[in-house]
Amino acid sequence: MVKIGYTMMTEQAGPRDLVNHLVRAEEAGFDFSVASDHYFPWLRSQGHSPYVWSVLGAAARATRRIPLMTYVTCPTIRYHPAVVAQKAATMQLLSEGRFRLGLGSGENLNEHVVGGGWPSVDVRHEMLEEAVEIIRALFGGGHVNHRGTHFDVESARLWDLPDEPPPIGVAVSGEQSCELAGRLGDLVIATEPKADLLEAFDRHGGEGKPRVGQLPVCHDPDPHAALERAHSQFRWFGGGWKVNSELPHPDSFEAATQFVTKDDVAGAIPCGDAPDAFVKAVRPYAEAGFTEIALVQIGGEAQLPYLDWAERTLLPALRDALG
């Protein structure tokens, strides 16, 4: 059965609200959760970007069942991989084994803040591979010394380790990242329902491993209000990863998406409260081979009505259609 997840999107709600929303998502019956790790929102209209690791710690103690996951953390520029390993191990302990560490090569939008420049994609993939090596070594216990191409680690050790380390997921968007994910990851992460990504993941060692997808939705009893909100806050989504990873600021996304129309958004994101439209949007992910699909409800203030509707209508419809 395909699992249906809830997204704590830190770009659109403050820290207390994010935790409260996840508590309600657990009550509503979502199978798992993911959380974005941003320093900036994509667009100013989203209006938020708290530190997700503090939010995750609070969420771990406020919930009891629902799995947690970063979707995704960049362990190379804004964070040193030794620090990411410590944070992830701590989260696994706080959540009592419910945490997965989703990793990716990052976006300029978030990583530029430390002034380290923005490397080419080939270099970013090299950095990600080296970071995963360091993180896994630290998860193994003992002191770690590392002299690498991109990172140094000086006699580091994690003093609080869970019995089972968090599984590591790797985000993919093309052949090169699929090769990394298949070889290095315990699961794969994607935001497009492309079967060829999963086929490439399998070719490089990913066969049989979980595959987690994500897509935006916009529930509202008024379809016009839903479309307005989706266009205002989520029109960046159609840019594609090669564009979205490079732009450095919300104002850049404002400029890049100024000609995206509401019709464009309506063609890509289900808006309203007709469950069939949401099932239709989710189905390509299941048909492509994703075993877990996380939904992003657009709009921080629209979460609780959406969660009530999801419990009552959407989750039963998705399980009937995809189970």
CA 246, chain centre distance (Å): 18
Q: What is the pLDDT of residue 87?
A: 98
| Terminal Cα-to-Cα distance of the chain (whole angstroms) | 5
Q: What is the DSSP string of 180-245?
A: HHHHH-SEEEESS--HHHHHHHIIIIITTS-EEEEEEEEE-SSHHHHHHHHHHHHGGGGG-HHHHT
Kindly give the pairing relationship between strand 168-171 and strand 292-297: unpaired
Q: What is the pLDDT of residue 39?
A: 98
Residue 230 CA to residue 319 CA, distance in Å, equals 25
Q: Are 285 and 193 in contact (CB under 8 A)?
A: yes
Buried b (16+ CB within 10 A) or exposed e, 42-59: bbebbebbbebbebbbbb
Residue 300 CA to residue 297 CA, distance in Å, equals 8
Q: What is the pLDDT of residue 241?
A: 82
Q: What is the pLDDT of residue 323?
A: 82
Residue 28 CA to residue 4 CA, distance in Å, equals 11
Q: What is the DSSP string of 94-130?
A: HTTS-EEEEE----HHHHGGGS-----HHHHHHHHHH
pTM exceeds 0.95 for this model = yes
Q: Which residues are catalytically annotated?
A: 38, 107
Q: What is the pLDDT of residue 162?
A: 98
Q: How many CB atoms lie within 10 A of CB 143?
A: 12
Q: What is the pLDDT of residue 11?
A: 98
Q: What is the pLDDT of residues 3-59, one digit of tens each?
A: 999 999 999 999 999 999 999 999 999 999 999 999 999 999 999 999 999 999 999
Kindly give the pairing relationship between strand 32-35 and strand 144-147: unpaired
Residues of the chain short of pLDDT 50, as ranges, are none
Q: What is the pLDDT of residues 190-218, one digit of tens each?
A: 999 999 999 999 999 999 999 999 999 99
